[in-house]
Amino acid sequence: MKYVLVTGGVVSGLGKGVTASSIGVLLKACGLHPYLNTDAGTMSPFEHGEVFVLDDGGEVDLDLGNYERFLDVTLTRDNNITTGKIYKSVLEKERRGDYLGKTVQVVPHITDAIKDWIESVAVIPVDGKEGPADVCVIELGGTVGDIESMPFIEALRQLSFSVGQDNFCLIHVSLIPVLGVVGEQKTKPTQHSVRELRALGLTPHLLASRSSQPLLETTKDKLSQFCHVPAGNILNIHDVPNIWHVPLLLRNQNAHNSILRQLNLLSIATPPDLRDWTKMAETYDNLTDSVRIALVGKYVGLTDSYLSVVKALLHACIACSLKPSIDWIAASDLEDDCAEMTPEVHARAWETLKNAACVLVPGGFGDRGVKGMILAAKYARQNKVPYLGICLGMQISVIEFARTVLGMERANSMEFDDSESSHHVVIFMPEGSTTHKGNTMRLGSRRTLLQTRDCITSKLYHNSEYVDERHRHRYEVNPEIIGILEEVGLKFVGKDESGKRMEILELPNHPFYVGVQFHPEFKSRPARPSPLFLGLILAGSGKLETYLNTHGNGS
């Protein structure tokens, strides 16, 4: 197995994950089979961004979402190595007596466990093909020097030594800032970062320098001299119009040749074929028309909280030859309380909502902003504005419909009001735990059976009898209320295999009013947009009926 290790220095948030993904794309374009290896279930969306859900129910950070989208592969929870997983596995071995009473230490027990994990998982294919991958790309989380990553750095140092220099390539991502009125590109932060890395026993073979503008030759020469990296191996990832340009940027600097040479793979690799990737990047750059999408959520202060939703909207818009124009609306700004406290903010939020071509309410937890989401769903329903509700967004639409159409003023979810006086149209899952937050949800890919082909969802999925989408929820629509809701017009067109869990709802006689219990954004890909996101954008741009007449027959 050949290993490519991607580390980061100076500051976090440099795009280490995008760099690792882009390297994977480049190696794949050279005819190789790359593999990526890097429990986030209760992380705060405000602090860390979204929790990305895998097919097997693994809850991981948003970088693995980038990997899946860039390389169009299906990863597993084992691709995400965390300190907690490693220490847990070592402690379990110690409790079983595997160490025969010896003192358990970071070295060698923790480091051995990390190496064993990497080497065992690296041979498992993730692209549906037979046999192990040619190259395993590892992203080391955090920044060099972080105390949390020290055991991993030591394990990777040992791994680099044991596999040999022809089987290990280290790429260090670092920042080249520009300071002062002179605008000089500063290399000192990178020099210090590389020195720290070398002191820990790892020497970079390539530098990926992040900067706002292309690197000057004098800057490259300085980096080469003081970081002991050949000038030809100094890569520059400067700011680009969209992240799909990053693999092209690396290709244009012959990054693949430098990596392949280090790994002794030049003889078996082919020139990189990135024609489709180039077309995709350039198509987006040349789009002029846009569609306004109101995204009504509770974590809009950190847009990474909805990263996969944003990417799915982007994929759908490009398929419609449109640029997404996302209007972020904090759900609480739509509420009456906001009108009293900050009337300008309230008025601006409503004006934004009313100017949007379509409305999306994504998933979330907790009762903050729920009133505003209900108002957004009501507005979209009554004014025939295309609406897509995901997870909580679906439950919101059920609550709103029950309150407004059925007259159940106290209709609610047990998540927000568990009093006996409420009509619980959304209930806690029977198998869930009310005391433990982590690992208690319905997670991963689950099958949804479509109840009829005479619905928008079925046509968008090309008349498929079922869909397999990823879930992440603790609450679900109360099956006891379904009959009453359907009598007055709301239709549940998708259910789980038991027939008791409601998965998809639609509102007939509406251009596009769809709620889904699952998260379709997690399986959206640049060349294969999520059918439901595509439907939302088509409806918002007035193209849905034409599309369904052309594609809704399974073609």
Quick one: residue 505, left, alpha or beta (phi over 0 = left, psi -120 to 50 = alpha)? beta
Percent above pLDDT 70 for the chain = 94
Task: Confirm whether 391 is a catalytic residue.
Answer: yes
Q: Which two tokens stand for residue 175?
A: 């920042």
pLDDT at 47: 45
Measure CA of the first residue to CA of the last residue in the chain; give whole Å.
Answer: 41
Cα–Cα dist 292/403, whole Å: 28
Q: Out of 59-63, 209-213, 450-454, 536-540, pick the least confident.
A: 59-63
Cα dihedral across residues 286, 212, 15, 328: positive or negative: negative
pLDDT at 437: 46
Does residue 367 or residue 317 have the better pLDDT?
Answer: 317
* CA-based nearest residue to 398, from 526, 286, 484, 468: 484
Which is catalytic among the residues 139, 391, 506, 510?
Answer: 391
Write b or e for each residue in 255-277: b if 16 or more Cβ atoms lie within 10 A of its Cβ, otherwise e: bbbbbbbbbebeeebeebebeeb
Give the residue-averaged pLDDT of 266-278. 93
pLDDT at 46: 40
What is Dmax (Cα atoms) for the chain?
A: 75
Q: Out of 43-57, 105-119, 150-164, 296-310, pick the least confident.
A: 43-57
Q: Out of 28-42, 188-202, 233-247, 266-280, pick the least confident.
A: 28-42
**pLDDT of residue 42 exceeding 70:** no
pTM of the model: 0.89
Residues belonging to the chain: 555
CA dihedral 147, 148, 149, 154 (to 10 degrees): 70
Strand partners, 411: 423
* Side chain identity, residue 18: V
Task: Confirm whether 473 is a catalytic residue.
Answer: no
Does residue 507 or residue 88 have the better pLDDT?
Answer: 507
Give the residue-averaged pLDDT of 492-505. 94
pLDDT at 82: 74
Cα–Cα dist 31/16, whole Å: 23
Task: Confirm whether 415 is a catalytic residue.
Answer: no
Residues whose CB is less than 8 angstroms from the CB of residue 535 and which lie 6 or more positions away in sequence, other chains included? 388, 456, 457, 460, 512, 514, 544
**pLDDT of residue 433 exceeding 50:** no
Environment class of residue 319 by beta-carbon count within 10 Å: exposed (0-12), middle (13-18) or buried (19+)? middle
Q: Out of 24-28, 39-43, 77-81, 315-319, pick the least confident.
A: 39-43
Q: Which two tokens stand for residue 453?
A: 């082909």
* CA-based nearest residue to 107, from 150, 169, 161: 150
Cα–Cα dist 406/337, whole Å: 25
Cα–Cα dist 138/117, whole Å: 12
Q: What DSSP character marks residue 60?
A: E
Highest-scoring range by mean pLDDT, 49-63, 420-434, 537-551: 537-551
Cα 388–379–51 angle (5° rounding)?
A: 35
Confidence of residue 43 (pLDDT cuts 50, 70, 90): very low
Environment class of residue 340 by beta-carbon count within 10 Å: exposed (0-12), middle (13-18) or buried (19+)? exposed
Q: Where are the beta strands (DSSP E) in 245-357?
A: 290-297, 323-330
Q: Out of 39-48, 153-162, 388-397, 416-425, pick the least confident.
A: 39-48
Cα–Cα dist 156/123, whole Å: 17
**pLDDT of residue 431 exceeding 60:** no
Beta strand pairing call for 513-516 and 387-390: parallel
Give the residue-averaged pLDDT of 26-43. 71
pLDDT at 41: 39
Give the residue-averaged pLDDT of 305-331. 94
Strand partners, 426: 413, 477
Confidence of residue 438 (pLDDT cuts 50, 70, 90): very low
Domains of the chain (ranges; CATH) run: 2-282 (3.40.50.300), 287-552 (3.40.50.880)
**pLDDT of residue 536 exceeding 50:** yes
**pLDDT of residue 129 exceeding 80:** no
Quick one: residue 507, left, alpha or beta (phi over 0 = left, psi -120 to 50 = alpha)? beta
* CA-based nearest residue to 525, from 75, 72, 126: 72
| pLDDT, tens only, 165-197 | 999 999 999 999 998 777 889 999 999 999 999
Give the residue-averaged pLDDT of 265-280. 93
H/E element, 163: helix 150-163
Give the residue-averaged pLDDT of 302-310. 86
* Other residues' Cβ atoms within 10 Å of the Cβ of residue 371: 18
Which is catalytic among the residues 335, 476, 503, 521?
Answer: 521
Cα–Cα dist 376/77, whole Å: 35
For the chain, helix, strand, coil in percent to 5 are 45, 20, 35
